[in-house]
Chains A and B, each alone.
Chain A
């Protein structure tokens, strides 16, 4: 809305516009361009990360992996870092049983919520924090809730936003029946069998501390009011 008002102000008061030099008009237009690009980037990043969730939900491993930049990385829970769309695709596939798509009775909802997106002023990079709510399981075998936080970075290449780094700090994976409050120390997160069979390119970036331990994934964004880094 502010942008629109600014645009209207540029148009409506003709005498005022006449007083602006060409250079001033150009500078104002350049500033507006950057602001609009930041707003558009924010929208594009929401679509990008939400698309990742929607693709993984349905077992579309390649579509999920090609959302990443060429040297993009993914790190889920305690599994370590996989780099590049090809490695990411194979890791995601193995993490879910090794097949294309889901199998009969597999529930795999990666609900992706609460974006806190910060796009850089040049609209070439961005960071975002998201809440993960997972509904996972296999009919007649097991069912779990997952709680986690994504702390991700994005890059715009050739006008297209891509995922640069995705890290999901898994707080817990809890059996549906007993719920999260009965989890014992260390029960809430384990290294997946997929990561044992198909080792990551780099080990885990830090020892995960799942619930009931307290884990605060580092904030890459400053406090929106004080502007200071959050420790």
Chain B
């Protein structure tokens, strides 16, 4: 089964000039665009004098764009790191304000909450506002692959999310998962347009992942989501693959996935 990830970058053709200067960071996803880019790359490589002859104004504009795309990546890293630091400590109001007005929040199989106020209230399902004593809610935000659209208005990122949980009187939990997020820049400020955390495995601390496998929570009856889960899957010991938002950094091709069979979810 082939998955084409839901990605605002995908489908937009990368300007050859962009592709040439960004190297592996952003690649077009269609082979015709790739051919065009490769042709331009070869041309640019063969004729370095061409760039030298561009007017100072156009070269400055080019620098400005390239520096802005680098700054965009820093800002998105800061945004997502802040999400993690706030989420860890139950600062739900701060978390919710990282989202755009129609932002989407989806954690595992809990379904999708849409909009800041709905997101803020849904976060109370993870505990009260402000972490209470004896609770640990660490959600690390690691290993970012950030892809900013050539126009600098949207972006995607994949993150590795290790999790350490505790509550009074019970064993701790280890978890690990993947984020596939979308971002939008509004009035010069990057915000989370969609956060989707795919837990991959969760286990009791003492049992470890040889003997323990905790499944994900489903949609809350107490505060139902605005939409059902966008992807239905089971975590470890099954091995679902969260679709990739970015093309392969070297080949430029989208990643083709074969998901594990699941008779209940209806995957062949």
Binding site for B on A (CB under 8 A): 1, 3-4, 7, 10-11, 25-26, 29-30, 32-33, 36, 39-41, 43-44, 46-48, 50-51, 53-55, 58-60, 63, 66-67, 100-107, 109, 111-113, 135, 137-143, 156, 158-162, 176-177
Whether B248 and A51, one on each chain, are in contact in the complex, defined by CB atoms closer than 8 angstroms, is: yes
Show 27 residue pairs from A and B whose CB-CB distance is below 8 angstroms, ordered by the A residue.
A3-B67, A10-B56, A25-B56, A29-B63, A36-B66, A40-B21, A44-B249, A47-B24, A54-B143, A54-B145, A58-B241, A101-B241, A101-B258, A101-B260, A103-B239, A105-B237, A106-B239, A109-B201, A112-B160, A113-B143, A135-B201, A140-B211, A143-B209, A143-B211, A159-B24, A160-B23, A176-B208
Residue in A closest to B42 when the chains form the complex, CB atoms: A158
B56 partner residues in chain A, CB cutoff 8 A: 10, 25, 29
Please pick, from B25, B143, B210, B257, the residue contacting A142 in the complex, using a CB distance under 8 A: B210
Please pick, from A43, A60, A111, the residue contacting B162 in the complex, using a CB distance under 8 A: A111
Cα A29 to Cα B255 with chains together (Å): 37
Whether A102 and B239, one on each chain, are in contact in the complex, defined by CB atoms closer than 8 angstroms, is: yes
A11 partner residues in chain B, CB cutoff 8 A: 60
- B20, B42, B160 — most chain A CB neighbours (10 Å): B160
B248 partner residues in chain A, CB cutoff 8 A: 51, 63, 66-67
Binding site for A on B (CB under 8 A): 19-25, 38, 41-42, 44-45, 51-52, 56, 59-60, 63-64, 66-67, 70-71, 73, 142-147, 158, 160, 162, 174, 176, 178, 200-201, 208-211, 213, 236-239, 241, 244, 246, 248-251, 255, 257-258, 260
B146 partner residues in chain A, CB cutoff 8 A: 43, 47
Cα A32 to Cα B60 with chains together (Å): 10
B25 partner residues in chain A, CB cutoff 8 A: 40, 43-44, 47
Residue in A closest to B142 when the chains form the complex, CB atoms: A113
Minimum distance in angstroms from A141 CB to a CB of chain B: 7
Whether A143 and B208, one on each chain, are in contact in the complex, defined by CB atoms closer than 8 angstroms, is: yes
Minimum distance in angstroms from A6 CB to a CB of chain B: 8
Cα A26 to Cα B230 with chains together (Å): 52
Please pick, from A7, A41, A46, A55, the residue contacting B60 in the complex, using a CB distance under 8 A: A7
Whether A58 and B239, one on each chain, are in contact in the complex, defined by CB atoms closer than 8 angstroms, is: yes
Say yes or no: A139-B209 contact (C-beta < 8 A), given A41-B23, A43-B25. yes
A25-B56, A160-B23 are known contacts; what are 14 more A-B pairs with Cβ within 8 Å? A1-B71, A7-B60, A54-B244, A66-B248, A67-B249, A101-B239, A104-B238, A111-B142, A111-B160, A137-B210, A139-B210, A158-B45, A159-B41, A159-B45
Residue in B closest to A177 when the chains form the complex, CB atoms: B208
Cα A140 to Cα B211 with chains together (Å): 6
Minimum distance in angstroms from A27 CB to a CB of chain B: 10
Cα A161 to Cα B158 with chains together (Å): 19
Say yes or no: A47-B145 contact (C-beta < 8 A), given A135-B209, A139-B209, A158-B38. yes
B67 partner residues in chain A, CB cutoff 8 A: 3-4, 7, 36
B241 partner residues in chain A, CB cutoff 8 A: 58, 60, 101
Whether A36 and B23, one on each chain, are in contact in the complex, defined by CB atoms closer than 8 angstroms, is: no
Cα A133 to Cα B241 with chains together (Å): 20
Whether A161 and B24, one on each chain, are in contact in the complex, defined by CB atoms closer than 8 angstroms, is: yes
Minimum distance in angstroms from B102 CB to a CB of chain A: 28
- A25, A39, A135, A142 — most chain B CB neighbours (10 Å): A135
Whether A39 and B70, one on each chain, are in contact in the complex, defined by CB atoms closer than 8 angstroms, is: yes
Residue in B closest to A133 when the chains form the complex, CB atoms: B162
B178 partner residues in chain A, CB cutoff 8 A: 54
B160 partner residues in chain A, CB cutoff 8 A: 50, 53-54, 109, 111-112
Cα A110 to Cα B84 with chains together (Å): 20
Whether B250 and A160, one on each chain, are in contact in the complex, defined by CB atoms closer than 8 angstroms, is: yes
Minimum distance in angstroms from A138 CB to a CB of chain B: 8
Minimum distance in angstroms from B125 CB to a CB of chain A: 26
Cα A103 to Cα B147 with chains together (Å): 30
Cα A70 to Cα B49 with chains together (Å): 29
Whether A66 and B251, one on each chain, are in contact in the complex, defined by CB atoms closer than 8 angstroms, is: yes
Whether B52 and A30, one on each chain, are in contact in the complex, defined by CB atoms closer than 8 angstroms, is: yes
Say yes or no: A40-B66 contact (C-beta < 8 A), given A47-B24, A58-B239, A159-B23. yes
Whether B70 and A43, one on each chain, are in contact in the complex, defined by CB atoms closer than 8 angstroms, is: yes
Whether B143 and A111, one on each chain, are in contact in the complex, defined by CB atoms closer than 8 angstroms, is: yes
- B20, B38, B160, B250 — most chain A CB neighbours (10 Å): B250
Whether B236 and A162, one on each chain, are in contact in the complex, defined by CB atoms closer than 8 angstroms, is: no
